[in-house]
Chains A and B, each alone.
Chain A
């Protein structure tokens, strides 16, 4: 499989007056055609920033270093403007604010297709088709409806339908299960799985829902403080994870007894600039961890870890 998206040494720094914070640090990531990747991390890990960087939607105050390649093109604002919504698509997290309240749903979906110079009849058919595909009840009624008439779950599916309308090569789904009750969550996960398996699209799931990550993806990358700390096949996540952060994350799940494995290491500042970023909470922390930043090293086929103690 050839590489669809290649991120090389990406660093995103937010500056405000005299302060700055690096949300993403020297990140390397490659997504191949048809690959299903999950990026798992908690808030502050940098996942949203990463997604915004790929989409070219970072605020002006953000400084970007490094390069992102989509197929053979290096991404810049001009190229991204052409690719967004067509080749690279984002299903946003905030379902309620992502649709324009003054236009009907059908209107907004048509906008995307008009640009592709599709005839009105075909447009209508495609829209209905898409709405059926995302399993919305009574899809005939939806195009006439306005966003406020739809429930959150329905809006999410409309956004999904919109994302699929131009047959993108890369779909980014930002926290699709956040805050959802079990019934809705299962519904959207199953739908995503179906849609994603059918096509040869690359799919990147950004989430902190570990079970969703395992269900929907082939590979899982764990992010912590702007860096990828572990990459491994999804099937191995629950049993063979190695990085102490991953272990702590898994242990904290309610099914595993809500264990809090993170400890405050004495003498370590909560965000050391030198050394490993997880040192402050790590149970395997040793002197070397405070001095030198570990690099991502391969420990097995398809499995990489960033940790002095492990690799």
Chain B
């Protein structure tokens, strides 16, 4: 029973944090203390105080305000990338699993090749080649991101399509598209949703990582990874430059991981509830 309580607590915590993060992202402009871009060169590396809650960075900018604005960025990119990955991956998975064997072989061959390449490095390379910019970063992250979804969905479709209710649907004359979207897809959603929420954390980390390495968005953009990059040089003297963005990344990724865990238990629990009469 203790196990169940722990799970419940972490799930509720995840939901609360998620609402909090979404709230911050939505209300960002109103939550900032100062202009996140405003440089205040007389007041660089200021320690956290009443005026500058998280202190200032190497250009005198308010770290707190940058973190707040950064929430928007991270969540926005995360949601967009994950949505695109889910969409593309699910479609590919459905077609590959349900369609003729030839199609499946081709798609899986393609995926196997993609997976053989070193993922994060390739993403870095693509980001590097494309250059700075929001759209380009999204492309770089979607490039390989959809693959895990495709595999999961394909696997589920393959096993589901042999089930009796699919056979029944066929004899009742229901067409392939109908079966695919009305019968198979809903049964695949569970794992897909869980994967999405867990991948959010990963994507946000990648974004931070890319910015940290100088790729991705432009330099002055208040993005957590970029802030970490800036802060790393001053860890001895002014650690607060790195600590706060680091904490922000950690909390956000943790939220999505817990969310993913909770959703998985919830959705699996749902299945179990249905079976238990």
Give complex CA distance A16, B1 in Å. Answer: 11
Give complex CA distance A113, B256 in Å. Answer: 52
Over the window 243-275 of chain B, the binary record of Cβ atoms lying under 8 Å from chain A Cβ atoms (1 yes, 0 no) is 000000000000000000000000001001100
Give complex CA distance A14, B275 in Å. Answer: 13
Q: Is A17 an interface residue (CB 8 A)?
A: yes
Q: Which 7 A-B pairs have the closest CB atoms?
A: A16-B276, A19-B276, A16-B272, A17-B273, A16-B273, A17-B269, A17-B4
Which residues of B (15-36) have their CB < 8 Å from a CB of A?
A: none
Query: Which one of B4, B272, B276 has the greatest number of beta carbons of chain A within 10 Å?
Result: B276
Question: In the complex, what residues of B have CB within 8 A of residue A14's CB?
Answer: 276
Give complex CA distance A17, B8 in Å. Answer: 12
Total residues of chain A contacting the partner, CB 8 A: 4
Whose C-beta in chain B lies nearest to the C-beta of A19? B276
Total residues of chain B contacting the partner, CB 8 A: 5
B-side interface mostly:
helix
Q: Which residues of A contact B (CB under 8 A)?
A: 14, 16-17, 19
Question: In the complex, what residues of A have CB within 8 A of residue B4's CB?
Answer: 17
Q: Which residues of B contact A (CB under 8 A)?
A: 4, 269, 272-273, 276
> Would you list 6 pairs from A and B whose C-beta atoms are within 8 A, ordered by A residue?
A16-B272, A16-B273, A16-B276, A17-B4, A17-B269, A17-B273
B277 to chain A, nearest CB (A): 8
Give complex CA distance A132, B238 in Å. Answer: 82
Question: In the complex, what residues of A have CB within 8 A of residue B269's CB?
Answer: 17
Give complex CA distance A17, B265 in Å. Answer: 13
Whose C-beta in chain B lies nearest to the C-beta of A14? B276
Q: A14-B276, A16-B273 are in contact. List 6 more A-B contacts (CB 8 A).
A: A16-B272, A16-B276, A17-B4, A17-B269, A17-B273, A19-B276
B12 to chain A, nearest CB (A): 16
A304 to chain B, nearest CB (A): 31
B188 to chain A, nearest CB (A): 25
Question: In the complex, what residues of A have CB within 8 A of residue B273's CB?
Answer: 16-17
Give complex CA distance A14, B272 in Å. Answer: 13
B153 to chain A, nearest CB (A): 27
Question: In the complex, what residues of A have CB within 8 A of residue B276's CB?
Answer: 14, 16, 19
Question: In the complex, what residues of B have CB within 8 A of residue A17's CB?
Answer: 4, 269, 273
Give complex CA distance A16, B272 in Å. Answer: 9
Give complex CA distance A19, B277 in Å. Answer: 9
Give complex CA distance A19, B269 in Å. Answer: 13
Give complex CA distance A16, B269 in Å. Answer: 10
Give complex CA distance A17, B269 in Å. Answer: 10
A62 to chain B, nearest CB (A): 13
Give complex CA distance A16, B277 in Å. Answer: 10
A33 to chain B, nearest CB (A): 39
Whose C-beta in chain B lies nearest to the C-beta of A44? B277
B160 to chain A, nearest CB (A): 20
Give complex CA distance A40, B1 in Å. Answer: 35
A46 to chain B, nearest CB (A): 15
B104 to chain A, nearest CB (A): 25
Give complex CA distance A16, B273 in Å. Answer: 8
Whose C-beta in chain A lies nearest to the C-beta of B277? A21
A169 to chain B, nearest CB (A): 35
Question: In the complex, what residues of A have CB within 8 A of residue B272's CB?
Answer: 16
A168 to chain B, nearest CB (A): 33
B5 to chain A, nearest CB (A): 12
Whose C-beta in chain A lies nearest to the C-beta of B1? A15
